[in-house]
């Protein structure tokens, strides 16, 4: 936005030089008369709405002193409104927009108490994280070891693993029912292909000969990765935390 009137930043907030505002408003009255009448007529309060100070002005011969006024933005906006002309309206809109921009970029720094609490909270989070890591180390080691294992197991053996990890009773039939219900197995207790592709299931094939006939029997197995996956899923469904064994 085009800078119409300079805004000065001080320790107590933003201020405007009254003489510069008077010049922008193109008032026909002499500055000292204009500002004194405005202050008296509208009951502006010194050190609240404005601050006055002496300024030494050098001249060709000697120097003189004149009174300057630093106005708050609220007082400057009110003076613009009182002026009741296009220049006043334009300046008032300008001050309002500049206030919005200033508020948008304000940074609120934490107090010493808030900063101390932030440090304490951060330390507590680190302690909780470290405690959780220590607590879950046995489970992580178990999962890593099982997933690296080459041996696949049968579903009845998976049921035993679930019993051991969660200290609950899970039979083979109940596990089959749960897997069908959750669409891991079809009605013939065979895994759906997508879970085979995920590496959760495999097959163990056995060549069988009977009365002169031979055929290959295929049995569904659970891989090491599948063992970890289904133990976690089943116990999560039951709301049970695994034991660190």
Residue ranges of domains in the chain = 7-104, 140-238
Q: What is the pLDDT of residues 155-175, one digit of tens each?
A: 888 888 788 776 778 888 888
3-state SS assignment for residue 240: coil
- Bridge partners, residue 10, by sequence: 13
Output the average pLDDT for the chain.
Answer: 79
Q: What's the pLDDT at 119? A: 59
Measured on CA atoms in the order 83, 86, 91, 93, is the torsion positive or negative? Answer: positive
Token code pair at residue 220: 């569904």
pLDDT of residue 99: 85
Give the long-range contacts of residues 193-202, CB within 8 A, separation 24 or more. Answer: 195/226, 198/225, 199/223, 199/225, 199/226, 200/225, 200/226, 200/229, 200/230, 201/226, 202/152
Average pLDDT over residues 193-202: 89
DSSP strands (E only) in the chain = 7-10, 13-17, 50-58, 63-72, 201-210, 213-222
Q: Give the max Cα distance, the chain.
A: 134
Residue 243 has pLDDT above 50, yes or no: no
Of all helices (H) and strands (E), which one includes residue 136? helix 112-148
What span, in angstroms and rounded, lies between the C-alpha atoms of 184 and 205? 20
The DSSP element (H or E) to which 227 belongs, if any, is helix 224-238
Q: What would the pLDDT profile of 95-115 be if each residue is shown by its tens digit?
A: 999 888 877 766 454 455 655
In this structure, the number of other CB atoms found within 10 A of the CB of residue 168 comes to: 12
Which tokens is 192 given? Answer: 């759906």
Residue 136, pLDDT above cutoff 60? no
Residue range 60-70: average pLDDT?
80
Q: Indicate if the pLDDT at residue 71 is higher than 80.
A: yes
pLDDT of residue 74: 93
Whether 244 shows a pLDDT value over 60: the answer reads: no
Asked whether the predicted pLDDT for residue 116 surpasses 80, the reply is no
- Class of residue 160 by CB neighbours under 10 A (exposed 0-12, middle 13-18, buried 19+): middle
| pLDDT band for position 35 (cuts 50, 70, 90) | very high
Model pLDDT, residue 158: 85
Q: How many residues does the chain have?
A: 245
Average pLDDT, integer, range 86-101: 90
Cα 24-26-29 angle, rounded to 5 deg: 125
pLDDT over threshold 60, residue 185: yes
Inter-axis angle of helices 18-25 and 73-83, to 10 degrees?
20
The reported pLDDT for the residue numbered 54 is 84
At 133 the pLDDT is 56
Tell me the mean pLDDT in the region 110-136: 62
pLDDT at residue 208 greater than cutoff 80:
no
Q: Judging by beta carbons within 10 Å of its beta carbon (0-12, 13-18, 19+), is residue 87 exposed, middle or buried?
A: middle
Using a 10 angstrom Cβ sphere, with 0-12 exposed, 13-18 middle and 19 or more buried, the burial of residue 63 is: exposed
**pLDDT surpassing 80 at residue 81:** yes
């Amino acid at each position: 936005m085009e800078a119409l009137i300079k805004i000065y930043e001080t320790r107590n907030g933003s201020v405007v030089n009254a003489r510069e505002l008077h010049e922008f408003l193109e008032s026909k009255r002499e500055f000292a008369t204009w500002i004194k009448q405005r202050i008296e007529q509208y009951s502006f309060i010194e050190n609240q709405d404005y601050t006055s100070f002496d300024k030494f002005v050098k001249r060709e011969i000697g120097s003189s002193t004149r009174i300057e006024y630093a106005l708050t933005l609220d007082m400057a906006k009110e003076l613009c409104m009182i002026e009741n002309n296009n220049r006043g309206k334009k300046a008032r809109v300008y001050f309002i927009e500049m206030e919005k921009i200033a508020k948008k970029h304000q940074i609120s720094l934490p107090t010493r108490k808030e900063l101390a609490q932030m440090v304490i909270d951060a330390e507590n989070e680190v302690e909780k994280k470290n405690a959780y890591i220590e607590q879950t180390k046995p489970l992580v080691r178990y999962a890593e070891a099982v997933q690296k294992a080459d041996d696949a197991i049968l579903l009845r053996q998976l049921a035993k693993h679930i019993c051991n990890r969660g200290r609950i009773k899970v039979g083979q039939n109940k596990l089959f029912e749960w897997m069908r219900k959750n669409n891991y197995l079809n009605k013939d207790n065979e895994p759906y292909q997508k879970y085979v592709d995920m590496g959760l299931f495999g097959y163990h094939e056995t060549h069988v000969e009977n009365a002169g006939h031979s055929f290959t029997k295929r049995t569904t197995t659970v891989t090491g990765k599948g063992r970890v996956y289904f133990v976690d899923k089943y116990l999560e469904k039951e709301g049970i935390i695994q034991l660190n064994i």
